[in-house]
Structure 1
Amino acid sequence: MPLLRIRNLSVDFTTASGKFRAVDGVDQDVDTGEILAIVGESGSGKSVSMLALMGLLPWTASVSADEISFDGHDLLTMTRQSRRQIIGKELAMIFQEPMSSLNPCFTVGWQVKEALRFHLGLNRADRQRRAIELFEQVGIPDPERRLSAFPHQMSGGMNQRVMIAMAIACKPKLLIADEPTTALDVTIQAQILDLLRSLREETGMGLVLITHDMGVVAETAERVSVQYAGQKVEEQSVYSLFHSPHHPYSVALLDALPERATERLLPTIPGMVPGQFDRPEGCLFSPRCRFADDKCRAHSPKQQNAQLGFAKCFYPRNTAERNAS
């Protein structure tokens, strides 16, 4: 049984002008010790789907799913009190914006140690010792002094490392990392990714990596889920996706990588991810897809089989190329 199992997850936001579906029927599995990467443009529902899992969406959001289970726990029927015993301890998340996630009224040390007190029941001395150890792990210099600093006294990169330290403090079974290295320089990025991999090897922790960086995906992940406009459009192993992508969106994403560019101008994907008022009736990628026809524009495609990367497309890459030739 997977460590995390999600079936038919949808998230709707209520706005003044109506409802907007940010996540649309997503299925996801993560096994113990597995590293899954979720990729896609901004607006693809990557972060929202994981925030729904954590129970951290605002009151304007409504979540529906056939199943959301974690380590044998049914998160759909679980009480808030029971969920609080899991979230932050067994299921943790590194948030994308550390300055808006850390409380500006408390020192960063207090915030890390509060998680240790609530979930592990450590005494004051053990909390101090563990907090220093965590800061050293994530590369924060002079950790004992930094524990007394407030978030506004530290750089964005330092606050991001504090968030990572807080997330791994209780050695979770599953860690969701939402762009964990965005605010960090390349050297620290490599250190953080090495740290996450080593934690996986030591503890068997599963890792969900939300990222735009395909280089990070290639070096870190084992399986990749590609999302577009709230839907999962393809899922393959890292090797298979990079060598044989099937959905036209996956193909376009990889073609846009600088190292793959064969011409002077970098290839781009025309248009934008559809919003609340411009969602097409058929395939959501059809307005931007060079293979789209009337069938694509009128009907929503079904998911293909595993050999075609579970691509949600009428014309996965092999078929599309034959039709184009």
Structure 2
Amino acid sequence: MPLLHIENLSVSFETASGAFLAVDSVDFDVDAGERLAIVGESGSGKSVAMLAVMGLLPPTATVTADRLEFAGRDLRGLSPRARREVIGGDVAMIFQEPMSSLNPCFTVGFQIKEALAAHTDLDRKGRQERAVELMRQVGIPEPERRLTAFPHQLSGGMSQRVMIAMATACRPKLLIADEPTTALDVTIQAQILDLLVELQKDHDMALILITHDMGVVAETAQRVVVQYAGQQVERQDVFGLFEAPHHPYTAALLDALPDRASGNRLPAISGVVPGQGDRPQGCLFNPRCRFADETCRKVVPPRQPPELGEALCHYPLHREEKAA
């Protein structure tokens, strides 16, 4: 049984001009100890889907799913109290922009120990010792002194490490990392990714990594879900995805990697992800796809079989190779 099972998850938001479908019929499983990447441009519904799992969307959001289960437990029908026992304990999330995710009014030590007080039976001394252990575990020097620091006294990289310490404080079974290297310089990005993978392996927890960086996917993930305009357009293991992408959008993302580019300019995907008022008929990617024809522009594409990456496409790439 998978640790997290999502089937036909959709999220819509009520706006002044009507309902906006931000996540459209997403399906995937995550096994214990597995590293899964969700990749796509901004606006593809990656973060919204995971916030729906966490139960952190605003009242304007409507979440529907045929199944939404964690460790065999149905998350859809949980009371707020029961959900709080799961979220923050067994399931934790590292949010984007650590400088804005940490509360500026409290020390980082208070914020780490607050999670421990909510989800463990540790006394005050035990929470202090555990907080020091966590700070040391994520590579923060002088952990006892740093626990008394306020967020504004820490660098971006240090703040991200504090967020990781908070998220892993209760030894979660599933950790969701939402763009954990955003706004960090390249050397710090590599350190944070290495730290996440190290913690994932040490604690045998599942890791969902939300990113738009295919280089990060190649270095950290075992399986990949590709999203576009709220839809899941492809799902493969990382080696198969990089070797033979089946959806044109996935192929275009990979073609933009510097080590794959030929010539003096990187290839780019023209246009932008469609929003509420400009969603095209047929395939949502068709205005930006170099393979699109009249069928793509008028008919909603079918879901291809697993051997073709479950691509949401009329004409999946490399289909002849798979058939052979």
Aligned to 2:163: 163
1:37 aligns with 2:37: yes
Counterpart of 2:259 in 1: which secondary structure? helix
1:197 aligns with 2:197: yes
CA contact (8 A) 2:246 2:319 kept: no
- Residue by residue over 1:236-284, the C-alpha shift from the partner in whole angstroms, topping out at 9 and shown as x without a partner, is 1100000100100000000001111111111000000000100011100
- Give the drift of 1:192: 2.8
Q: TM-score scaled to structure 2, two decimals? A: 0.96
**What is the 5 A alignment of 1:1-325?**
1-318=1-318
The CA distance in 2 between the partners of 1:144 and 1:185, in whole Å, is 26
The CA distance in 1 between the partners of 2:34 and 2:3, in whole Å, is 9
The CA distance in 2 between the partners of 1:283 and 1:215, in whole Å, is 27
Structure 2 residues not aligned, in runs of 5+: none
Q: Given the superposition, is the C-alpha separation of residues 320 and 269 from structure 1 closer, same or farther in structure 2, using an over 3 Å criterion?
A: farther
CA contact (8 A) 1:291 1:320 kept: no
CA contact (8 A) 2:244 2:318 kept: no
Structure 1 residues not aligned, in runs of 5+: none
- Give the drift of 1:320: 9.5
Q: Given the superposition, is the C-alpha separation of residues 183 and 165 from structure 1 closer, same or farther in structure 2, using an over 3 Å criterion?
A: farther
Q: Given the superposition, is the C-alpha separation of residues 103 and 155 from structure 1 closer, same or farther in structure 2, using an over 3 Å criterion?
A: same
CA contact (8 A) 1:157 1:183 kept: no
Which is worse superposed, 97-106 or 218-227?
Answer: 97-106
Question: What percent identity do the matched residue pairs reach?
Answer: 69
CA contact (8 A) 2:68 2:75 kept: yes
Which is worse superposed, 247-256 or 189-198?
Answer: 189-198
CA contact (8 A) 1:90 1:171 kept: yes
- Give the drift of 1:60: 1.2
CA contact (8 A) 1:23 1:49 kept: yes
CA contact (8 A) 1:138 1:165 kept: yes
The CA distance in 1 between the partners of 2:315 and 2:57, in whole Å, is 35
Which is worse superposed, 167-176 or 207-216?
Answer: 207-216
Q: Given the superposition, is the C-alpha separation of residues 184 and 135 from structure 1 closer, same or farther in structure 2, using an over 3 Å criterion?
A: farther
Which is worse superposed, 126-135 or 54-63?
Answer: 126-135
Aligned length: 321
The CA distance in 2 between the partners of 1:78 and 1:300, in whole Å, is 35
Q: Given the superposition, is the C-alpha separation of residues 39 and 166 from structure 1 closer, same or farther in structure 2, using an over 3 Å criterion?
A: same
Counterpart of 1:36 in 2: which secondary structure? strand
The CA distance in 2 between the partners of 1:278 and 1:182, in whole Å, is 28
CA contact (8 A) 1:33 1:206 kept: yes
The CA distance in 1 between the partners of 2:256 and 2:230, in whole Å, is 21
The CA distance in 2 between the partners of 1:251 and 1:149, in whole Å, is 45
CA contact (8 A) 2:97 2:182 kept: no
CA contact (8 A) 1:34 1:222 kept: yes
The CA distance in 1 between the partners of 2:302 and 2:36, in whole Å, is 23
The CA distance in 1 between the partners of 2:187 and 2:292, in whole Å, is 42
The CA distance in 2 between the partners of 1:183 and 1:112, in whole Å, is 22
Q: Given the superposition, is the C-alpha separation of residues 319 and 31 from structure 1 closer, same or farther in structure 2, using an over 3 Å criterion?
A: closer
